[in-house]
Chains A and B, each alone.
Chain A
Amino acid sequence: MIQEAISFTPQLTATPIAGLLWLIPAVPILAAGVISLLKQPKRKTSSTLAIGSLGFSLLFSICAFLHVLTGWMHGQAVRETVNFTWIQVGTTNVDLGWVLDPLSAVMLVMVCFVGLLIFIYSTGYMAHDENFTRFFCFLALFAGAMLGVVISNSLLLLFMCWELVGLTSYLLIGFWYHKPSAAAAAKKAFLTTRVGDIFFLLGMVWLYAQTNTLLFYNQGAGSIETGALTGLLAAHAGWGLTAAGAVGLLIFAGAAGKSGQLPLHVWLPDAMEGPTPVSALIHAATMVAAGVYLIARVYPLMQAGALTGGTTTALTVVTFVGASTAVFAALIAVAQNDIKRILAYSTVSQLGYMMAGLGMGGVAVGMFHLITHAFFKALLFMGAGSVIHGCHEEQDIRHMGGLSKKMRLTFFTYAIGMLALSGFPLLFSGFWSKDGILEAAQHWSVAKAPFYMLVFGALLTAFYMTRQVSYAFFGSYRGHAEVHESPKVMTLPLAILAFFAIALGALGTPAWPWFRAFLEGHSAEYVGWHVFFEPGLPALMCTSALVVFVGLGLGWLLYGNRSPRAEEADILEQKIPLLWKLMSDRFYVDEFYGLTFIPFYGWWGRVADFFDRHVWGGLVAFTAWAFRMGAHLSRFFDHQFVNGGFDKSCEEIAAGGGLLARIQSGRVQAYLRILAVAVAILTVILIWSSRA
Chain B
Amino acid sequence: MTPLAGYLLVAALLFAIGLAGALTRRNAILVLIGIELMLNAANLNLIAFWRYGPHPEALTGMMFAIFSIAVAAAEAAVGLGLVIQIHRHAHTTDLDAMNRMKG
Contacts and interface: CB of A to CB of B under 8 A. Distances in A.
Contacts of A672: 22-23
A669 interface: yes
B33 to A, nearest CB: 14
A128 B70 CA distance: 126
Contacts of A665: 99, 102
A664 interface: yes
A667 B22 contact: no
A526 to B, nearest CB: 127
B103 A664 contact: yes
B43 to A, nearest CB: 18
B31 A661 contact: no
Contact of A673 (B23, B98, B103): B23
Nearest to B96: A667
A676 B23 contact: yes
A664 B31 CA distance: 20
B88 to A, nearest CB: 18
Interface in A166-192: none
Interface in B62-103: 95-96, 98-103
B102 to A, nearest CB: 3
21 contacts: A660-B103, A661-B103, A664-B102, A664-B103, A665-B99, A665-B102, A666-B98, A666-B100, A666-B102, A666-B103, A667-B95, A667-B96, A667-B102, A668-B95, A669-B22, A669-B23, A669-B31, A672-B22, A672-B23, A673-B23, A676-B19
The 9 A-B residue pairs whose C-beta atoms are closest, nearest first, are A666-B102, A664-B103, A666-B99, A666-B101, A665-B102, A661-B103, A667-B99, A664-B102, A673-B23
Contacts of B102: 664-667
Given A669-B96, A676-B19, 4 more contacts: A667-B99, A669-B23, A672-B23, A676-B23
Contacts of A668: 31, 95, 98
- Is the contact region of chain A dominated by helix, strand, or loop, or is it mixed? helix
Please indicate which of the listed interface residues A664, A672, A673 has the most CB atoms of chain B within 10 Å of its own CB: A672
Please indicate which of the listed interface residues A661, A664, A669, A673 has the most CB atoms of chain B within 10 Å of its own CB: A669
Contacts of B95: 667-669
Interface string B21-65: 011000000010000000000000000000000000000000000
Contacts of B22: 669, 672
Interface in A636-683: 660-661, 664-669, 672-673, 676
Nearest to B19: A676
Contacts, number: 29
Contacts of B31: 668-669
Nearest to B99: A666
A666 B19 CA distance: 19
Contacts of B101: 666
A619 B90 CA distance: 82
Contacts of A673: 23
Contacts of A666: 98-103
A659 to B, nearest CB: 12
Contacts of B100: 666
A485 B103 CA distance: 113
Nearest to B34: A672
A661 B100 CA distance: 13
Interface string A266-282: 00000000000000000
Contacts of A676: 19, 23
Contacts of B23: 669, 672-673, 676
Nearest to A679: B19
A669 B22 CA distance: 7
B46 to A, nearest CB: 18
A668 B95 CA distance: 7
A661 to B, nearest CB: 5
B76 to A, nearest CB: 16
A672 B32 CA distance: 12
A573 to B, nearest CB: 117
A669 B19 CA distance: 10
A661 B102 CA distance: 8
Contacts of A667: 95-96, 99, 102
A218 to B, nearest CB: 95
Contacts of A661: 103
A676 B19 CA distance: 8
A582 to B, nearest CB: 111
Contacts of B103: 660-661, 664, 666
A666 B22 CA distance: 16
A441 B96 CA distance: 133
A533 B23 CA distance: 154
A661 B23 CA distance: 21
Interface in A446-486: none
B95 to A, nearest CB: 6
A660 B102 CA distance: 11
A166 B103 CA distance: 90
A676 B23 CA distance: 9
Contacts of B19: 676
B22 to A, nearest CB: 6
